[in-house]
Amino acid sequence: DVQLQASGGGLAQAGGSLRLSCVASGFTSDEYTIGWFRQVPGMLREGIACITARDGSTLYSDSVQGRFTISSDNVKNIVYLEMNGLKPEDTAVYYCAATNRPYSSAQAADVSQYDYWGQGTQVTVSS
C-alpha cells in the first residue's frame, strides 16, 4: 500500500525558513501527484502546492506563491516543501498527500482529489 510520512515541522521565527519532507513508499507507478496541504483548527484543509512525478510540473496557492518551493527527489521518493519568508499565518499542521488520478489544476487545492494521506507535521511561526 502507498504510505506517506511527513516530517520537518517545528518552530520558526517570522521571516525564517523550514523544509518539510514527505517520504513516500509503495508506489506501483511513477504517475503520481504529491500535494501539500495545511490545516488550522476549526478551518478547512487548505491546498498549498503540488508536483507531478511525470514531468515535474508544480502549482502553488496564492498565499505561498513566491515563498514556498515544492520539489522532488525521485530516486529517494521524497517530496520537499521549502518554506521561506515564514509568517505567523503559516502556522498550521502540514500534510502531504498522493493521487494517481490524471493531473489537474484542481489537485493544487482540492482534498477530494487525493487518495493517500500522511500524518501531519506541526509548523509554528512566532512573530
66-88 pLDDT per residue, tens: 999 999 998 888 999 999 999 99
Q: Which residue has the higher pLDDT, 4 or 103?
A: 4
Q: How many CB atoms lie within 10 A of CB 100?
A: 17
Residues contacting 94, CB < 8 A, separation 6+: 6, 9, 20, 36, 37, 38, 48, 81, 120, 121, 122, 123
Over the stretch 16-49, which tens digit does the pLDDT of each residue have?
Answer: 999 999 999 988 777 889 999 999 999 999 999 9
**Residue 86 near residue 98, CB atoms below 8 Å:** no
Asked if 116 contacts 28 with a C-beta cutoff of 8 angstroms, the reply is no
* Cell numbers for 72: 522532488
pLDDT category of residue 115 using cuts at 50, 70 and 90: very high
Cα dihedral 50→53→56→61 (10° resolution): 0
Continuous segment of H or E residues that includes residue 34? strand 33-39
% of the chain surpassing 90 pLDDT? 77
- Strand positions, DSSP E, 53-115: 58-60, 68-73, 78-83, 92-99
Instruction: Please report the pLDDT score of residue 28 as a whole number.
Output: 76
